[in-house]
C-alpha cells in the first residue's frame, strides 16, 4: 500500500486537496441554497445534508491513504508542500505531517462525517448555511494540524473560530448568544497575543538571517541556538492562547457554556477536535520553540500544578452536575488535564500517553455527546433527574451508553485506559506526587459517570415520558453512526500498538530535543557561574 500511494504521487497533492475540498463543498452549498424557495424546506434540508455528507466521506477516504503513505520514522516532514504566498513578508503556504499531526488529521476527517450524521434530524433551519460552516470549520482544523508556517498556522487558527462562533450563536440553545460571545472573546484574546509573539519571532529571524521568514523549521533552528530575546514573553503569549483552547484551569469557564448551548455536532467537534488544538499547540509550538523556558523548573511546576488541579477540579465539579451535557463538559477539563500532565512530564511514555488520551477523548466524548443528542431529540431534556429506567425501554441505547461511559472512565480493555495508564507510569518517575494526585481522579470519574448511568438507565422507570420511549430505541442511522466509535473504543483498548507506533518516533524526537536544550542551558549556566 505504501508503494502504491507513493507511485501515484499521493504525497505531493493530498494535503492541499484535503484543505481545498471542504471549501469547494461550502461554495457548492452556498450556490445550491438559491435553488430552493421558502416552501421547499424539506427538499433543501435533504439536499444540503447529502452534499455535506458526501464531501466529508470523500475527505475521510482520501485521508486514509496517509496511514500507509506517511513514513512516521523519518525526521523529515511527510507529504510536505511549500508554495510562495506573501514572499515580501517571508510567508509561505507550507504544510506537512509527522506522526502526531497524522493521527489528529485522521481523527478530524473520520469524525466529520459522523458530525454531519449527528445533525441529520436536529438541524432543520438554514441547513445550507449550517453545513457550509461545518465544511469551512473542517478546513480550519486540518490547517492547524498541517501548518508549517507560523502565519499560516495563525490564519487557520482564526478560520476555525468564526464558523464555530456562528454555529453556537445561530443553532444553539436558549443562552446561545452569551455562550458564543464568551467562546469568541476568550479565544480571540489569546489569539491576538499569539499573533504578537509570531510577529516578534519573525522580526528576530529577520535580524539573524537578514531576510523575512516565518517558516516553522527556521524558528525551530533558531530555538536550538538558545533563547531568543524576549523568549519568556513570547512563550507566555503562545502558552496563554493554547491554555485557553485546551482549556486549562482556570481558563476553562467558557467550555461548559459553549458545550451546553452548542448543537450536537458543535459539541462533538468542540470536544473531539477543537480542544485538541490547544494541546497540539503546546506539543508543536510552545514547548519546541521555547524548550528552556517551558522546562524551567518554575514554569514547568506551574503547568504541572494547573494540569493536576484541572484533573481533580473537573472531576469534582462533574460529580455534582444535574445536566448531563455539562457533566461531560467538565469531564473534558479533567481528561485534558491528563494530556497536559503527560506533555510537561516530558518522558516518551508520558508524551505517548498524552497523545493516546487526546485521541481516546475525541472518540469517547464525541460518542457521549452524540448519545446525549439522540436522547435529547426524544425527551427534550438533559437533566439527569428527568430520566430513569431507560435500559428497559431502549436497550440498544443503554448498551452504547454503558460502553462509552466505561471507556471514558478508563476501564481496562477500552481506549481510555491505555492513555491514562501511560501518562501515569510516564509521569511517576519524574513527577511522582503529581501522578499520585492525578490517579485519584480516576476514582472520581468512575463515581460521576457510573452514577449518571445509573440514574439514566437503571433507576426505576416511573416517569410516563420515559415509558413512552418504548419502541423508540436507536434507529439504523444512529446505530451506523455509533458503530465506528464503539469499534474504535474496543480496538484501541485491546490493540493500541498501531497508533502507538505511529506516534512513537515524533514523541521521542520531541523529548530528546527538549532534553538536549535543557542540558545545554544548564551547561551554559554552569560555565557562566564559573
Per-residue DSSP letter, 332: H
Q: How confident is the model at residue 519 (pLDDT cuts 50, 70, 90)?
A: low
Q: How confident is the model at residue 303 (pLDDT cuts 50, 70, 90)?
A: very high
Q: How confident is the model at residue 526 (pLDDT cuts 50, 70, 90)?
A: low
The pLDDT of residue 530 is: 47
Whole-number CA gyration radius for the chain = 23
Tens digits of per-residue pLDDT, 424-474? 998 888 888 888 888 888 888 888 889 999 999 988 888 888 888 888 888
The upper half-sphere exposure of residue 507, i.e. CA atoms within 13 Å in the direction of its Cβ, equals: 26
Q: Is residue 249 scored above 70 in pLDDT?
A: yes
Tens digits of per-residue pLDDT, 137-167? 999 999 999 999 999 999 999 988 889 999 9
Q: Hunting for cell 510577529 — which residue is that? A: 199
Span 44-52, mean pLDDT? Answer: 85
How far apart, in whole angstroms, are the C-alpha atoms of residue 409 and residue 48? 37
How far apart, in whole angstroms, are the C-alpha atoms of residue 444 and residue 452? 12
How much of the chain, in percent, has pLDDT values that exceed 70? Answer: 94
Which grid coordinates are listed for 117?
450524521
Distances (CA, A) of 97 to 205, 244, 414, 473, 487: 23, 24, 28, 42, 26
More confident residue, 103 or 44: 103
Tens digits of per-residue pLDDT, 268-293? 888 888 788 889 999 999 899 888 88
Tens digits of per-residue pLDDT, 93-117? 999 998 899 999 999 999 999 999 9
How far apart, in whole angstroms, are the C-alpha atoms of residue 24 and residue 267? 24
Per-residue DSSP letter, 97: E
Q: Is residue 353 scored above 70 in pLDDT?
A: yes
Span 344-361, mean pLDDT? Answer: 90
Span 186-212, mean pLDDT? Answer: 87
Q: Mean pLDDT score of the chain, rounded to an integer?
A: 87
The pLDDT of residue 473 is: 86
The pLDDT of residue 39 is: 59
Phi, psi (rounded to 5 degrees) for 91: -100, 130
> How many Cβ atoms sit within 10 Å of the Cβ of residue 375?
21
The pLDDT of residue 524 is: 59
The pLDDT of residue 401 is: 94
Q: Is residue 2 scored above 80 in pLDDT?
A: no
Span 19-27, mean pLDDT? Answer: 94
Span 262-267, mean pLDDT? Answer: 86
Span 33-58, mean pLDDT? Answer: 81
Listed residue (287, 262, 288) closest to 275, CA to CA? 262
The pLDDT of residue 111 is: 92
Q: How confident is the model at residue 10 (pLDDT cuts 50, 70, 90)?
A: low
Strand partners, 93: 83
How far apart, in whole angstroms, are the C-alpha atoms of residue 62 and residue 32? 24
The pLDDT of residue 259 is: 84
Amino acid at each position: 500500500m505504501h508503494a502504491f500511494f507513493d507511485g501515484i504521487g499521493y504525497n505531493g497533492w493530498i494535503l492541499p486537496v484535503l484543505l481545498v475540498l471542504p471549501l469547494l463543498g461550502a461554495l457548492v452549498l452556498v450556490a445550491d441554497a438559491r435553488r430552493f424557495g421558502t416552501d421547499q424546506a424539506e427538499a433543501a434540508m435533504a439536499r444540503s445534508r447529502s452534499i455535506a455528507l458526501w464531501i466529508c466521506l470523500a475527505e475521510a477516504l482520501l485521508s486514509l491513504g496517509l496511514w500507509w503513505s506517511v513514513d512516521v520514522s523519518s525526521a523529515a516532514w511527510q507529504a510536505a508542500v511549500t508554495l510562495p504566498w506573501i514572499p515580501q513578508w517571508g510567508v509561505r503556504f507550507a504544510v506537512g505531517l509527522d506522526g502526531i499531526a497524522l493521527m489528529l488529521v485522521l481523527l478530524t476527517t473520520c469524525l466529520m462525517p459522523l458530525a454531519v450524521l449527528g445533525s441529520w434530524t436536529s438541524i432543520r433551519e438554514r441547513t445550507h448555511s449550517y453545513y457550509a460552516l461545518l465544511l469551512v470549520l473542517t478546513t480550519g482544523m486540518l490547517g492547524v494540524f498541517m501548518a508549517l508556517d507560523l502565519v499560516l498556522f495563525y490564519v487557520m487558527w482564526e478560520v476555525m473560530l468564526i464558523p464555530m462562533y456562528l454555529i453556537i450563536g445561530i443553532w444553539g440553545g436558549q443562552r446561545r448568544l452569551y455562550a458564543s460571545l464568551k467562546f469568541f472573546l476568550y479565544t480571540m484574546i489569546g489569539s491576538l497575543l499569539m499573533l504578537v509573539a509570531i510577529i516578534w519571532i519573525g522580526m528576530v529571524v529577520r535580524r539573524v538571517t537578514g531576510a523575512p521568514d516565518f517558516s516553522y523549521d527556521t524558528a525551530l533552528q533558531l530555538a536550538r541556538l538558545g533563547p531568543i530575546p524576549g523568549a519568556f514573553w513570547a512563550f507566555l503569549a503562545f502558552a496563554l492562547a493554547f491554555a485557553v483552547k485546551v482549556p486549562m484551569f482556570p481558563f476553562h469557564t467558557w467550555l461548559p457554556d459553549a458545550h451546553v448551548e452548542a448543537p450536537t455536532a458543535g459539541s462533538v467537534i468542540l470536544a473531539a477536535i477543537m480542544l485538541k488544538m490547544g494541546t497540539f499547540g503546546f506539543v508543536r509550538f510552545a514547548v519546541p520553540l521555547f524548550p528552556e523556558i517551558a522546562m524551567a523548573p518554575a514554569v514547568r511546576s506551574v503547568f504541572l500544578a494547573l494540569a493536576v488541579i484541572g484533573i481533580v477540579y473537573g472531576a469534582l465539579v462533574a460529580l455534582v452536575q444535574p445536566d448531563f451535557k455539562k457533566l461531560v463538559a467538565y469531564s473534558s477539563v479533567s481528561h485534558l488535564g491528563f494530556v497536559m500532565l503527560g506533555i510537561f512530564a516530558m518522558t516518551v511514555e508520558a508524551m505517548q500517553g498524552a497523545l493516546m488520551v487526546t485521541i481516546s477523548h475525541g472518540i469517547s466524548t464525541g460518542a457521549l455527546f452524540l448519545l446525549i443528542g439522540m436522547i435529547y431529540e426524544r425527551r427534550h431534556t438533559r437533566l439527569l433527574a428527568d430520566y430513569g429506567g431507560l435500559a428497559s425501554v431502549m436497550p440498544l441505547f443503554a448498551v452504547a451508553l454503558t460502553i462509552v461511559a466505561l471507556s471514558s472512565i478508563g476501564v481496562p480493555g477500552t481506549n481510555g485506559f491505555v492513555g491514562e495508564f501511560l501518562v501515569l507510569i510516564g509521569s511517576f518517575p519524574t513527577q511522582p506526587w503529581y501522578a499520585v494526585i492525578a490517579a485519584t481522579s480516576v476514582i472520581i470519574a468512575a463515581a460521576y459517570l457510573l452514577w449518571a448511568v445509573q440514574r439514566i438507565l437503571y433507576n426505576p422507570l416511573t416517569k410516563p415520558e420515559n415509558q413512552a420511549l418504548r419502541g423508540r430505541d436507536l434507529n439504523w442511522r444512529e446505530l451506523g453512526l455509533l458503530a465506528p466509535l464503539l469499534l474504535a473504543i474496543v480496538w484501541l483498548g485491546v490493540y493500541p500498538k498501531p497508533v502507538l507506533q505511529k506516534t512513537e518516533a515524533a514523541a521521542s524526537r520531541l523529548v530528546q530535543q527538549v532534553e538536549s536544550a535543557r542540558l545545554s542551558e544548564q551547561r551554559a549556566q554552569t560555565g557562566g557561574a564559573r
